[in-house]
Structure formats: C-alpha cells, structure tokens
Structure 1
Amino acid sequence: MGVSGSVASLAALRAAVAEARNSRRELTAVIAWEVPEGRVLYFRNPDPAWAAHWAKQARQRLDLAFEEALGGTPADVPVRKLVVRGMPGKVLRDVANQEGHVLVVGARLKSRWAPVRSYVRWHAQCPVLTVPAPRCPMRAAWTLRRAAAEDFVKR
C-alpha cells in the first residue's frame, strides 16, 4: 500500500486496512521519498544529515496519514511501516512483487497525470487495487476555490 498523504492516498489506506482485516494478512504501508534537489545533485555533494532529515519527514508523513485516515495505527491488523528512499513507482513495485500481495494505491478522479499509478499498473507482478478519492460536494468545492487566507484565521 503506497502512502503519500493525499486524499486519495488516505482513502486507499482505509481500503487497504479493510482488505488486510478481511484476509487476515499483514498490511505493509510504504512511503517513498527523495531529497528535494534530486538524486543527481545529492550524489554530487552527499550530506547524510540532510538525507536523514528528509527520511524523518517522510516517517512523520506516514504516521500522520494513519492518524488522519484511521485515528492511528489499527490494533487489530498487523502493520509494518516502511520508509524507503527512491522513486515511488519503483519502490512500490519492488515491495509488492511477492506471492499473495495486493498493491493498493489511491487515484484522483479524472487525473491525466498519474505517473505512480500508471507505472505500477504496467510493472507490478501482483494485483493492483486502485481506490478513488472521495468526491467533494460541489458547493464545498466552489466555496474552497474562492476562499482567501483570511477566511481561515480565528478571530
């Protein structure tokens, strides 16, 4: 199960937990990360402290995703959390390509640019379950598009 923190990813996390619960299997939640400047620049001037900082940030995003999607790590499902440095599609493919695995990824509706989802659909050797993001009510979406920063300030 790939985790990024997006709304679709949180929906996929809920679905993956339900699947693991129903099949009595372990859930492996994976977050892939890279240093912001990219691999080429980092390899020219490696800084282990900088890489450790971004690995810690990824771990915190993974923990936050469990909090936001489920209120915490479920107690009734064995969960393994992996923080892996690398390109998300390749990381997910490598982790999930084992007998009996199901790869769960989130998908925004009508998304034309979905490189991770496309990559795993073409390269994964296991079944891939794509979970759509929940729809936002039309009125709420309209209101949010017109909101300004001041609308979120507590007075």
Structure 2
Amino acid sequence: MSGGYGAAGRRGATAGTSGGGAVGPGRLVVGVSGSLASLAALRAAAREAAGTGRPLLAVLAWEPPEGEAGYMLRPARIWAENWRREARARLDRAFDEAFGGDPPGVADVERRLVRDRSWRALCATADRPDDRLVIGVRGARWGLFGRGGTARRVLTRARCPVLTVPAPRFPVLLRTRLRHARAVHFLPGGSGRAAV
C-alpha cells in the first residue's frame, strides 16, 4: 500500500501522483462502515472520482461503545485510543475488501476518522455546496427508516447533493454462506474456494 497516515489521519495520494494538476469541482465524500452497502458506496464514489478527477474523501465515524455520554462518566484515554485504532483498521479493511488497497485511477484519496455520530460526521465533512456525499443504503426502501435512520438524517440535513447506493442483494440461502466468506474465496483460480 502506498502512503501512510499523518497526525490528522490523512492518507497520502496513490503512488505516481503529483500535488498539482487539474481537479474537478468539489470532493466526493463517502461514508464507510464496512457494511456491504458502504462498500458499494465506496466503489461507486471511487468510480466517479476516477472519471471526473475529483478528490475522494472516505469518512468512518466512530464513538465509544457506550456512547459519548457514558464515556464522560468514566473517561479512559487508553480505551478511547484502542477504539480509534479499531476504527482505523476497519477503514483500511474496507479499502482492502473493495479494491485490494487504494482505488485504481484515483489521484487524491484521503481516509478520515471522525469521532461523532455517522450522520453528523458526514454532514459536517461534506460542508461545501460543490461536494457530493455518497452513502450506502440497505433494504427495499433503502433502509431510510431502519435502525438509527442515518440515511434519513443525512438526506434531510446535507448541504450538498447526496447519492444513495443500494447494497447488493443476494438470495436468502446464500446470505449465511456469504457472511463467512473472505476476499480470497472470490479470487480467480479458486485458491480459496468458498462454499457459496
């Protein structure tokens, strides 16, 4: 993998890119959680970034498991740092699962961790009118009114255009097997041979 994280959690551009060059208007801000819907959104955002030259900014929001209010009652920096490291690993794993590293053809990629609720982090990050926010949604009704209502909150509060990308649908019998499959199971040559 090229590049590395700086103090602010920024990931360097892919190898062979320069700091200058013409870039299209605004950024493509994509919410990443590691779910199938967010991986589909990440791939869609990367395709658009590669085609338009816009920067790609992947955002993973995280909070302490007991929430910020619970953390304030018993703050523990060591645990907070551990949760932040886990969030960073999840963000890197999403890129590995979607592309095997950095997305091909995208010159400017940033991976950002934000300690906040996901809808609030996405709306605050995509704060320019020429940005485009890309989010994955699940279910027949896009999961807008499902648990947490992240998509619904983003759609009602975003200050830029929002692209919703549905999660891939699989037959019911394959869902359990796919839940246990790994990326190696889908490589050509069948070296991993999943039972899917």
Map of 1:96 onto structure 2? 126
User: In 2, Cα distance between the equivalents of 1:75 and 1:56?
Assistant: 25
Map of 2:96 onto structure 1? 67
User: Which residue identity lines up with residue 27 of structure 1 in the other structure?
Assistant: L
Map of 1:136 onto structure 2? 170
Map of 1:79 onto structure 2? 109
Q: Which has the higher helix share?
A: 1
Map of 1:3 onto structure 2? 32
Deviation at 1:137, TM superposition (A): 3.0
**Is residue 113 of structure 1 aligned with residue 146 of structure 2?**
yes
User: In 2, Cα distance between the equivalents of 1:54 and 1:140?
Assistant: 32
* Cα displacement string for residues 105-153 of structure 1 (whole angstroms, at most 9, x for unaligned residues): 0011223405110011000010000000111035424xx38x9xxxxxx
**Is residue 36 of structure 1 aligned with residue 70 of structure 2?**
no
* 1:38–1:137 Cα change, 3 Å: same
User: In 1, Cα distance between the equivalents of 2:91 and 2:173?
Assistant: 30
How many pairs are equivalent? 144
User: In 1, Cα distance between the equivalents of 2:55 and 2:129?
Assistant: 13
**Is residue 123 of structure 1 aligned with residue 153 of structure 2?**
no
User: In 2, Cα distance between the equivalents of 1:6 and 1:70?
Assistant: 15
* Cα displacement string for residues 52-71 of structure 1 (whole angstroms, at most 9, x for unaligned residues): 11111000000000011111
Unaligned runs of 5+ in 2: 1-29, 180-196
Helix, strand or coil: the match of 1:121?
helix
Assess if the C-alpha contact under 8 Å between 2:50 and 2:104 holds in 1.
Answer: no
Q: Which runs of 4+ in 1 moved over 3 A?
A: none
User: In 1, Cα distance between the equivalents of 2:80 and 2:164?
Assistant: 30
Coordinate RMSD, CA, aligned: 1.7
User: In 2, Cα distance between the equivalents of 1:138 and 1:39?
Assistant: 36
User: In 1, Cα distance between the equivalents of 2:112 and 2:102?
Assistant: 14
TM-score (norm 1): 0.87
User: Which residue identity lines up with residue 140 of structure 1 in the other structure?
Assistant: L
TM-score (norm 2): 0.69
Helix, strand or coil: the match of 1:74?
coil
User: Which residue identity lines up with residue 49 of structure 1 in the other structure?
Assistant: I
Map of 1:153 onto structure 2? none
